[in-house]
């Protein structure tokens, strides 16, 4: 069976969050898992906790119509950590050095290129969570990257990372940024459809008038495709929109918005 369905930005995040939870189910009671802040990870946290959270406060950095921004640390809620089945709400930096072989960091990205490589924007010269990236890769920690194809870019992430940097830029509409290519297990919409419904999917169009809309072609047996179509209908029945306040007065970053 072949079917075309559409996903908006929020529906994509919800789909990917559901797939990510299923992807890590076998590890939840056996591994230390850290869920870093991010707009898709906020939906994942709801899947894990089985309750709603203030998703606006489970974000560290984001893009809006002004450009790039970093949330006030005092606005953010605690990180969610799963320590061999025990759910902890705390500070990921108290746990990240404990991650070892087979443990998991779930970290979203800001860009995914045509080769499937992911880039994370860096507003901090220290590198934020990813200042630990070399240590994590050296130990053999698994990095799972939930990321929507909303964030697709046509340029090579590695090339971009070589020509951008906080101190390299002469001007930025908001904060100055670097970008770090990261390696890990990418879960985008295409991977999510495979995990949840065992169907192949193809991104065939993207755009829209006021929202980022993506059209996917689903291909699989009748039962699986029909189940995916019905689930997506329910998934899109939502009115949630992110509204994250800017706090320019207390912001520590050099930004053109001040």
Q: What is the mean pLDDT of residues 35-57?
A: 97
Q: Is residue 60 within 8 Å of 253, Cβ to Cβ?
A: no
Say how far apart CA 192 and CA 50 lie, in whole Å.
20
Q: Give the tens place of pLDDT for each residue, 107-164.
A: 999 999 999 999 999 999 999 899 999 999 999 999 999 999 999 999 999 999 999 9
Paired with 3 in beta bridges are 218
Q: How confident is the model at residue 246 (pLDDT cuts 50, 70, 90)?
A: confident
Which DSSP helix (H) or strand (E) runs through 158?
helix 157-163
Q: What is the CATH number of the domain that holds 136?
A: 3.40.50
Q: Does 1 fall in a domain? A: no
C-beta atoms surrounding 229 within 10 Å: 16
Say how far apart CA 35 and CA 37 lie, in whole Å.
7
Q: Does 128 fall in a domain? A: yes
Q: What is the mean pLDDT of residues 52-78?
A: 93
**In the predicted model, is pLDDT for residue 245 greater than 70?**
yes
Q: Does 211 fall in a domain? A: yes
Q: Does 214 fall in a domain? A: yes
Q: Does 2 fall in a domain? A: no
Q: What is the mean pLDDT of residues 34-54?
A: 97
Q: Identify the pLDDT of residue 258.
A: 67
Paired with 83 in beta bridges are 32, 86
Q: Does 31 fall in a domain? A: yes
Number of domains in the chain: 1
* DSSP-based three-state secondary structure for 76: coil
Q: Does 90 fall in a domain? A: yes
Q: Identify the pLDDT of residue 256.
A: 74
Q: Identify the pLDDT of residue 202.
A: 98
User: What domain range is 210 assigned to?
Assistant: 8-250
Q: Identify the pLDDT of residue 257.
A: 74
Q: Give the tens place of pLDDT for each residue, 152-196.
A: 999 999 999 999 999 999 999 999 999 999 999 999 999 999 999
Q: Identify the pLDDT of residue 250.
A: 76
* CA-CA-CA-CA torsion sign (237, 238, 239, 243): negative
Q: Does 229 fall in a domain? A: yes
Give the 3-state DSSP-derived string for 90-152, with helices as H, strands as E and coil as C. ECHHHCHHHCCCCCEEECCCCEECCCCCEEEEECCCCCHHHHHHHHHHHHCCEEEEECCHHHE
């Amino acid at each position: 069976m072949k079917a075309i369905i559409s996903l908006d930005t929020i529906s994509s995040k919800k789909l990917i969050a559901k797939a990510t939870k299923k992807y890590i189910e076998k590890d939840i009671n056996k591994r230390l898992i850290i869920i870093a802040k991010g707009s898709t990870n906020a939906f994942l946290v709801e899947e894990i906790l089985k309750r709603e959270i203030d998703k606006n406060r489970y974000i560290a950095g984001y893009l809006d119509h002004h450009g790039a921004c970093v949330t006030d640390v005092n606005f953010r809620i605690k990180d969610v950590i799963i320590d061999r089945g025990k759910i902890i709400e705390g500070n990921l930096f108290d746990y990240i050095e404990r991650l070892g072989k087979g443990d998991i960091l779930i970290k979203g990205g800001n860009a995914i290129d045509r080769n499937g490589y992911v880039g994370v924007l860096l507003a901090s010269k220290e590198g934020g969570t990813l200042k630990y990236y070399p240590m994590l890769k050296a130990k053999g920690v698994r990095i799972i990257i939930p990321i929507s194809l909303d964030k697709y870019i046509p340029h090579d992430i590695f090339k971009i990372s070589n020509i951008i940097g906080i101190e390299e830029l002469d001007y930025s509409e908001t904060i100055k940024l670097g970008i770090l290519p990261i390696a890990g297990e990418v879960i985008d919409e295409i991977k999510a459809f495979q995990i949840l419904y065992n169907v192949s999917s193809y991104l065939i169009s993207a755009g829209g008038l006021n929202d980022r809309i993506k059209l996917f072609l689903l291909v699989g047996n009748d039962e699986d495709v029909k189940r995916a179509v019905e689930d997506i209908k329910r998934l899109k029945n939502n009115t949630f929109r992110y509204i994250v306040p800017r706090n320019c007065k207390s912001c520590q970053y050099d930004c053109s918005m001040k």
